[in-house]
Structure formats: C-alpha cells, structure tokens
Amino acid sequence: MKNEVEITQEQADIQNSIIERLRKRLESKKLTYYITTFGCQMNVRDSEKLKGILEKIGYTHAKEEKNADFVIYNTCCVRENAELKVYGRIGFLKAVKRKNPNLMIAVCGCMMQQETVVEKIKKSYRHVDIVFGTHNLYKLAELIENRMDSRRTIFDIWTEHKDIVEDLPSIRNNPFKASVNITYGCNNYCSYCIVPYVRGRERSRKPEDIMHEIRALAKEGVLEIMLLGQNVNSYGVGLEEETSFAELLEMIEEVEGIERIRFMTSHPKDLSDELIATMSKSKKICNHLHLPFQSGSSKVLKAMNRKYTKEQYIELANKIKKECPGIALSTDIIIGFPGETEEDFLDTLDIVSQIRYDFAYTFVYSKRTGTPAATMENQVDEKIAKERFNRLLEQVNQISYEKSIEHVGKTYQVLVEEKNSQNAELVSGRLSNNHLVHIKGNSELIGRLIDIKITGAKSFYLTGEIVE
C-alpha cells in the first residue's frame, strides 16, 4: 500500500505531466490569462499557485480581463458583498464571451463549496466553463484538459480535502516576499463563520515539507515569509510526530537568508505561553501580532463560540505586550452580532480603549446562510449596527493615529516593497510592526532592508527618510 508521501508525489507527477502535455498542445496559440482574487491571504496564496500552473502551460498575463483568453475568479464567501461582486463579474463576462467564443471562464474557491452557489451557476451562468472548489486547486491543468476534450462545463467540487499537493509551479507577486501554507481548514466552528464548511477540517503540513519549501525560497532570495493558516496557533493537528507552532517557528528562525517571519491568523484560545516566549526571544519574528477578539462581550463571545471571555482576552493581550515590548497588535471586530446590546457594544469599546490597537479591521455582522448565527433570534437592526460601527470607527482611527505619532523621530528598519502608486518620487514598505511607510527613493531600493528615520505620521501610514 502506498504511503501519503508516495500518493502526494504521484499526484504532483500526474499534474506536471498534464501541464507539459497542454504546453505542447497550446504553444502556437499564444494564450493569455487574468485572475481576480477575492478574500483572504489564503486565497491570495492559492492564486499564486494557479498563476504558476497557467504560466507553466504557456499562458501569459493579460492586463485586462476583457482581453484574456482564460479568466479565473478565485472566490470568497465570508461576506455576502464578496459573493455579489463575483456574480456581477461573471455576468459581465457573458457579453465578453459572445465577442470571443473561445474565452474560457473558471470559477473556484470558497463560494464553490456551497451547493446553492453551484446550482445557481448551472442555472444562470451557463457560459462558465470550469467550476472547482478549495480542495483541488492543484488539478487546474487536468480540469482545463478535460474541458478542452469534452467541450462541456466541468464541475469538480470535493466535499473534503484528500491530498496536500504542493510540488507544483507558483508565481509570487514579488521575489523577496512569500506566503507559505502551514495548515488547511479549521476546527473552530465560530457560529458566524462559513470557513470550516468550505475549507474542511484542519490539517497540518509536515514540518519537513514546510522547511523544504522555506529553504528553497531563501535560496531564491526571499527575505520575508508569511505563514498562513486559519488558526496557525493550533499547528500540529493530525501530525504523526507532535510539533507545536512555537517549535516550527524556532526551526524557521535557523534558516539562513530569511530575515523576517510573519504569520496569521492567531486564535486567542490557542495562543500558548510557549509561543509568547518564542516570539519574545526571536530576532526574526516580526514585532506584530494579529489577534482577533471579535466582540468585547463575554455573552456575545459565548454565542460566537469563541471559547474565551473578555477578561481572558485582556489578560492574554497584556501578557503579550509585557513579554514583547513595543509589539503592534491588530484585531478583527464584528459589530451587530445577533443579540448584541448597547452594553455589549460598550464592552467592545472598552477592549479597544484598554489594548490600544495599532490596526483594527472592523465589520458589520453579515448573515451567512449555513451558519448557526444566521438563524439566531434577536438579529440587530441594520441602522443600530451602523451607528455603533461609526462610533467604533471613530475610536479605532483616533488610537491608530496616536500609535502612528509615537514613531516620529525614531529609527526603524523597513523592507521596501514597491513604487508608491500616488507619487513617483516615493517608494513604500513596511516596518517589522507592519506599519506602512513612504520614503523618497527610486526602484533600486525595492527588495532591500534599509534603516529610516520616521519624519511624519498619519492615521494609516508614516513618512520617513533614509538614514545615511
């Protein structure tokens, strides 16, 4: 009987052979592709894999989707607004396909794991050629070949993850930063969240596979890596040999060439003292932690199935700030969850006031069909939720501005990432604590770690000058 490693390699070999077959089949056509990514960092990473497969086949990137021969929408279903955008874009492509009958359209990602969505595409969007979900992205080449051979729409949706196949091409957005998946799926089942239902149960990649990928990235010149998982703190689930997230970080710390380590997302209930200790002594882990609290009310947190109280969260956040001086904390906050009262909302404002986040990502609760929260009683009136949201935003933005001002006059190291889109004389990058900085300079600085002095501050960015 074949073991897991043999099965995974066999799948990679099959896909690579199909890629080569398609490359020869299509090489004279000079085809182009366009990918639009909706949603989280996990989706961004998935799109990098899709790009890698397409470019290995021979597709080149098109500047506009209306001029592409192959269009992919990698979808998100966390919020209803994202789904509506996808339907709008698919509808737009119907007219484009009339002008170019050879246009191939693929829709993949989290939305496709919902039966209602797939049925809607079958009924209302028959011009779509390929539909697949979150578990079989690595089979893109095979799905393209099947579509070409069968001349019919391909639906390939898996209800659960089978193999973790990583040994395939990938195209990163830049050469000095890379994302690395360490877990897939989620076991938490927060009552408002659809993710566990569309990405499946949590699975951890083997540490040796992760390390092999990171060492290869370092050899390619990558300076900063982002470790990805729905809950990185619970890394180790399902592994034959127990390895904690803290132990994985310590292994990565030893990789020569990697200068910065980031990770997301952290669930408060699984953030251990071991991890805090590892962060405090690390020379490479960035001085930033994204730690969503979602609501400041213990009553609402219980209804959300978050498995911690307001008091436990505050204690944890203060412990992190004590052990990791100067760390920048960011968070996610949901306003208007079913049953939220004014008193509950004031508890949320209290946490924001006490912890003083550098960044906060705030959302009005969005009902997602298929989650327990969608059928809860006492749904909050939209007008009340928006009024509370605006009050929260005012407080969050004021604190963010005050946190930004604290940087002025101090010297930091920045990784320059890109030319500034608003001013050709500036380049932009991020400090270890994830604050965005704009500095005067040219494209020769991109991909370099340089020392800068902060000269100015706004709510959402800093300005600085190079230290000579």
pLDDT at residue 160, as a whole number:
67
CA 147 to chain centre: 29
User: What does the H/E/C string look like for the chain?
Assistant: CCCHHHHHHHHHHHHHHHHHHHHHHHCCCCCEEEEEECCCHHHHHHHHHHHHHHHHHCCEECCCHHHCCEEEEEECCCCHHHHHHHHHHHHHHHHHHHHCCCCEEEEEEHHHHCHHHHHHHHHHCCCCCEEECCCCHHHHHHHHHHHHHHCCCEEECCCCCCCCCCCCCCCCCCCCEEEEECEECCCCCCCCCCHHHHHCCCEECCHHHHHHHHHHHHHCCCCEEEEECCCHHHCCCCCCCCCCHHHHHHHHHCCCCCCEEEEECCCHHHCCHHHHHHHHHCCCECCEEECCCECCCHHHHHHHCCCCCHHHHHHHHHHHHHHCCCCEEEEEEEECCCCCCHHHHHHHHHHHHHHCCCEEEEEECCCCCCCHHHHCCCCCCHHHHHHHHHHHHHHHHHHHHHHHHCCCCCEEEEEEEEECCCCCCEEEEEECCCCEEEEECCHHHCCCEEEEEEEEECCCCEEEEECC
Residue 116 has pLDDT above 90, yes or no: no
pLDDT at residue 161, rounded to an integer: 59
* pLDDT of amino acid 367: 85
Q: pLDDT for 257-274, tens place per residue?
A: 999 999 999 999 999 999
pLDDT, average across residues 158-183: 76
pLDDT at 162: 57
User: What's the CA gap between 260 and 447, in Å, rounded?
Assistant: 12
What is the pLDDT at residue 1?
A: 42
pLDDT score of 166 more than 90 = no
What's the pLDDT tens digit per position in 18-63?
999 999 999 999 999 999 998 778 888 889 999 999 999 999 999 9
Is the pLDDT at 4 greater than 70? The verdict is: no
Q: Which domains does the chain have, with CATH numbers?
A: 10-156 (3.40.50.12160), 172-286 (3.30.750.210), 312-405 (3.30.750.200), 411-466 (2.40.50.140)
* pLDDT tens, position by position, 214-248: 999 999 999 999 999 999 999 998 888 889 999 99
pTM equals 0.82
Q: Round to whole Å and give the CA distance between 320 and 266.
A: 13
* pLDDT at 292 (0 to 100): 96
Q: Residue 411: phi, psi to the nearest 5?
A: -105, 135
> In DSSP terms, which residues pair with 155 in a beta bridge?
131
Residue 172 class from Cβ within 10 Å (0-12 exposed, 13-18 middle, 19+ buried)? middle
- Count of alpha carbons within 13 Å of 261, Cβ hemisphere only? 21
Read off the pLDDT band of 168 (50, 70, 90): low
On whether the CB atoms of residues 80 and 367 are closer than 8 A, the answer is yes
Supply 226's token pair.
Answer: 């982002």
Per the prediction, the chain carries an average pLDDT of 91
